[in-house]
Structure 1
Amino acid sequence: MTFTVVTKPTLLCVIVALTLPLSGQTKADLPDLGGNAFSTISTEKEKQLGDVMARETRGSLPMVYDPLLDEYINAIGNRLVSRANDVKFPFKFHWVNDKNINAFATLGGNITSHTGTLAIADSESEFASVMAHEIAHVTQRHIARFFEARNQQAPITLAGMLGAIILATVNPEAGMAALMATQGASAQSAINFTRGNEQEADRIGMTIMVEAGFDPYAVPNFFRKLTEQSRFLNQQLSFLQTHPLSQSRVSDTRLRAEQFPQRFIPDSQDFTLSKARVLARYHYDKADAEIVFRKKLTEPSGNTKANQYGLAIALLDNGSLDPARKLIEKLLETDEHNLYYMDVYTDILLGQKEYQRCLELLEQQYLLRPNNQVVTLNYANVALVSGAHRLAIHLLKSLLFYKSDNVLAYGLLADAYKAAGDMAKFYEARADLNYQYANYPRAIDDINEALNHLKTEEKLENRRLEAKKRQLQTEFDRLRRM
């Protein structure tokens, strides 16, 4: 299923005055910290602030809402987290649509990778090394301690700190300048802590990698590749600007890796398919993607399922449905339940208006994997397009019961209610979507619109929506005081 990457370029507004709100329907109990949110950050406070930061980031960066890629990064991330010590809360992993190589962690176990990081990784272990490094920053509480230390020098506001962090992911130099202006912090420690913290994250991260079954030699290999690329480009990569890489760090990781036996660790199929998906849909332009994958397939050892899959995506996105269908059907013959292939196949069928065939395939997959977000979102989308609005609503409400922060589900649910003519529910779903994008004013306006569409006798619904509006306003007012 093809989804639009939602971009909300409001960085200047975020830095000057961060008044956009947050989301998450059941999480109104934000930390009541008075005028100083960062004086002492307990684990629970860190989790709550991390939730705030994650939602604000969602509303300010070009996040990728791709169910397959979301499943992949969270599977890799949680595999690593399961081998980490001092894990205080659940981790969540996200994507930013950015061709630059970078990743960052915020409070509360929220870790975000640029799509460019996966695109450049030559192995799954290389990509895992970046994730493990960021996980170590969280488990060692480097971020929380950084905020506390900065706050001792000058009071930190949620707006100033978060705005600088968000800007730093897009433009590291500007982000450092913003932090320096906000806090008077030194350029060396402005973004990603101190050299000591970086080295500790390298050490802990490598241990996590080994315990999770990845190749520790991928760490020095990835560092070497980054330094070589930076030298070739005659400019410093964004990853190196936010993760200062000294020669001693490279040497330390090499020596530490040599303590482990070398062994071949093959990449998973999910890695190769996810990388092909990123390259085809987020790294290259549509026309270029087709050329790139056609060339890959002619190279020695290049006729792989991943490259065939990448070409199928490129053909689909360029409107070449028939050749894309032939290619993906051959792949499905080898693995009929593969969700990467099924996702592209149902998109092709949708484009060819074979709605009934599409619904039948997805119904079968839904029975096998109920509430899997890849299957459910595709199924609901086809149901919506084909006019089965109530089926779409049922599927999406069920998914949101298990995954209450799914942005795509809220968007589709709003469309389904509108198509069904239920305008009160449409505006409420749109309010929930705006809530996910940290936009309280619009969310509250949408609740008011929903109230206007209720009938006079719907008193219970009226009271429920009024209570929801009060909850939104209370949370918004509390956030603005941070």
Structure 2
Amino acid sequence: MIRQAVKLTFATSILLMLLQSSPAQALNKLPDIGGNAFSTLTPEKEKQLGDVMMRQTRGQLPMIYDPLLDEYINALGNRLVARANDVKFPFKFYWVNNRQINAFATLGGNIASHTGTLAVADSESEFASVMAHEIAHVTQRHIARFVEAQNQRAPLTIASLLGAIVLATVNPEAGMAAMMASQGAAQQSAINFTRSNEQEADRIGMTILAEAGFDPNAVPQFFTKLSEQSRFVNQQLAFLQTHPLSQARVSDTRLRAQQFPTRFVPDSMDFTLSKARVLARYHHDTKDALTIFQRKLAEPGGNTRANRYGLAVALLDNKDYAAARAQIEPLLEQDPHNLYYLDVLTDVMIGQQQYQQALDLLQQEYLLRPNNQVVTLNYANVALKAGSHQLAIHLLRNLLYYKDDNILALDLLADAYKQKEEFARYYETRADLFYQLANYPKAIDDLNEALNHLPAEARLENRRLEAKKRQLQAEFDRLQRM
């Protein structure tokens, strides 16, 4: 059960975000975007600024750090990106723990989906259509293009601009209107601009979807579903607030989909298991999830591997370890290396304090898939429970060599150092963690604590940490000057 959700209130003011920002590790160079240089917001600058914004977003939204879901959304997203044109930087995909249907893209190829979007998707093609749409927003540089156009009319300040962009990532209409209002323009112009972006993203996103092997008809199907759902609730669905949807737009996507060959695209096992995981762990209350999956299994045709897996997750979260094991072991016998099943069985073994059995199981998987984050994080977690701190440290440092922004790896590594009473490394790792959440003041404080715990003879380590602190302070100062 290696997962974590950071639950904080999302601030729409960039000034507040900058002053409350959080962590420190592989310090990225900030883009030179001072003054009114937005007319030349190059892809390189957009990527650098997007990375800073994503770290801030991590510290403000209830992000989910679940290695299984992370592997799924990034594999799916990059399958789509591989079929897109005008890709100027690597993409990263994230989850927000929110039951509402929504997804958003920020600058620089960072895309997030609400868990609610996967929960209501009736097919993998439907969920992929949402991701393809957001990828199109990025490849067409819609926010960057708007910024450049606005700056030609009147110079924008970095503070007012980023505040509006942050708002635009969650509510594009409000965000674009905020940028326009700051220049004394009309809100309707901002909405029209957003609708134009949506039409372009629909067209390009559908092409990406088809090229990646998914069903283009999923786009109008998903839109129709959203339109019907919004008729029976008091407030408009979050996705429709952030992605204005008219009947003309639905009809346009339906006609466009008819231009592609009809195809049947079966859902992947990873999709069905990821959806079951979201429903069992993030979408429903723990006790409700148990009842829901028991009912699903009792329905005609409901005895599926995904529903049995969902029930196993619900039983695990209700701490009924014996029943969870009875559900998951037959599934694992059918598919011995399935990471979804291994994750549940590992957590059952932890719950039953069978640490050595779990270590033996994960050691074999690690030999097959070294540095796979699902295997490595579970292996390191069990090692910590079993008191094998050095093994956990070795596993986590190897993983962070390849994925230095892995929040769970940093969190576990800090715990390992603390249990070993290596406090200088503990505080430095915490600083790295806070940097990844854009909490600069806390990261700097922890670097000072790390320096205080160094022995007097550790001169090289002292100089290294001092240099790291200066670099972090310089980045924070520059952000505040924006």
Question: Normalising TM by the smaller chain, what interval?
Answer: over 0.9
Does 2:408 correspond to 1:408? yes
1:230-269 alignment to 2 at 5 Å?
230-269=230-269
1:230–1:237 contact (8 Å) kept in structure 2: yes
Instruction: Kindly state the Cα deviation for residue 190 of structure 1 after the two structures are TM-superposed.
Output: 4.6
- Change in Cα spacing, 1:252 to 1:172, as seen in structure 2 (3 Å) is closer
Name 1:141's counterpart in structure 2. 141
The range that moved more, 79-88 or 158-167, is 158-167
Alpha-carbon spacing, 1:157–1:288, altered in 2? closer, same or farther (3 Å): farther
Aligned to 2:73: 73
Distance 1:317 1:440 in 2: 34
Residues 141-168 of structure 1 show CA distances to partners (whole Å, capped at 9, x for unaligned) of 1121022223344544444444445456
* Pairing 1:457–2:457 present: yes
Q: 1:72 to 1:193 in 2, by over 3 A?
A: farther
Task: Give distance in 2, aligned partners of 1:449 and 1:66.
Answer: 30
Closer, same or farther in 2 for the Cα pair 1:10/1:232, shift >3 Å? Answer: closer
Q: Give the TM-score, by structure 2 length.
A: 0.95
> 1:3-402 to 2 correspondence within 5 Å?
3-9=3-9, 11=11, 14=14, 16=16, 18-21=18-21, 25-36=25-36, 38-167=38-167, 179=179, 182=182, 184=184, 186-188=186-188, 190=190, 193-402=193-402
- The whole-number CA distance in structure 2 between the counterparts of 1:271 and 1:28 is 34
How far off its partner does 1:171 sit?
Answer: 6.8
- Aligned identity (percent) is 73
> Which letter maps to 2:318?
N
The amino acid of 1:426's aligned partner reads Y
Please give the alpha-carbon distance, in whole angstroms, between the structure 2 residues aligned to 1:39 and 1:180: 16
Instruction: Indicate how the Cα distance of structure 1 residues 185 and 374 shifts in structure 2: closer, same or farther if over 3 A, else same.
Output: farther
| Cα distance in structure 2, aligned partners of 1:66 and 1:408 | 8
Structure 2: how far apart are the matches of 1:51 and 1:62?
A: 18
* Residues in 1 aligned to 2:12 and 2:322: alpha-carbon distance in whole angstroms: 45
TM-score (norm 1): 0.95
Q: Which moved more, 1:352-361 or 1:32-41?
A: 32-41
Query: What do residues 418-458 of structure 1 show as CA deviations (whole Å, max 9, x unaligned)?
Result: 00010000000000001011011111110110000000110
The one-letter amino acid of 2:256's match is R
TM superposition shift of 1:98: 0.6
Q: Which amino acid aligns with 2:127?
A: F
Which is worse superposed, 26-35 or 372-381? 26-35
For the 8 Å contact 2:173–2:191, the answer to whether it is kept is no
- Structure 1 position 234, deviation (Å): 3.8
Aligned CA distance change for structure 1 residues 290 and 189 (closer, same or farther; 3 Å): farther
Structure 2, unmatched stretches of 5+, are none
The CA deviation string for residues 165-197 of structure 1, in whole angstroms up to 9 with x for no partner, is: 545666778767755655556444658943222
Q: Within 1, Cα distance between the matches of 2:158 and 2:327? A: 50
Contact 1:28 1:471 in 2 (8 A): no
Offset at residue 235 of structure 1 (A):
2.6
Please give the secondary structure, in 1, of the residue aligned with 2:231. helix
Contact 2:427–2:446, Cα closer than 8 Å, also in 1: yes
SS in structure 2 of the partner of residue 4 of structure 1 = coil
Contact in 2 for aligned 1:142/1:193 (Cα 8 Å): no
Output the CA distance in 2 between the equivalents of 1:157 and 1:20: 20
Q: Deviations over 1:12-41 (max 9, x none)?
A: 664656324465733432112223353321
What is the distance in 2 between the residues matched to 1:423 and 1:192? 55
Query: Kindly tell me: are residues 446 and 27 of structure 1, through their superposed partners in 2, closer, same or farther at Cα, counting changes over 3 Å?
Result: closer
1:87-133 Cα shifts (integer Å, max 9, x gaps):
10100000111111111111110011111100010000000000000
Partner-residue secondary structure (3-state), 1:116: helix
Q: State the AA in 2 paired with 1:72.
A: Y
Distance 1:448 1:456, change over 3 A: same
Counterpart CA distance in 2 for 1:170 and 1:86 is 24
Q: Is the 8 A contact 1:180 1:187 kept in 2?
A: yes
Q: 1:339 to 1:237 in 2, by over 3 A?
A: same
Aligned residues: 482
SS at match of 1:311: helix
Q: For residue 268 of structure 1, what is the amino acid of its counterpart?
A: S
Q: Deviations over 1:203-228 (max 9, x none)?
A: 11011011100000000000000000
Pair 1:21–1:386, CA change in 2 (3 A): same
Following superposition, the deviation at residue 301 of structure 1 comes to: 1.3
> Structure 2: which amino acid aligns with 1:106?
T
Given that 2:2 and 2:67 are in contact with CA atoms closer than 8 Å, whether structure 1 keeps it comes out as no
Task: Give the letter for the 1:475 counterpart.
Answer: E
Indicate how the Cα distance of structure 1 residues 234 and 69 shifts in structure 2: closer, same or farther if over 3 A, else same: same
> Cα offset for 1:251?
1.1
Unaligned runs of 5+ in 1: none
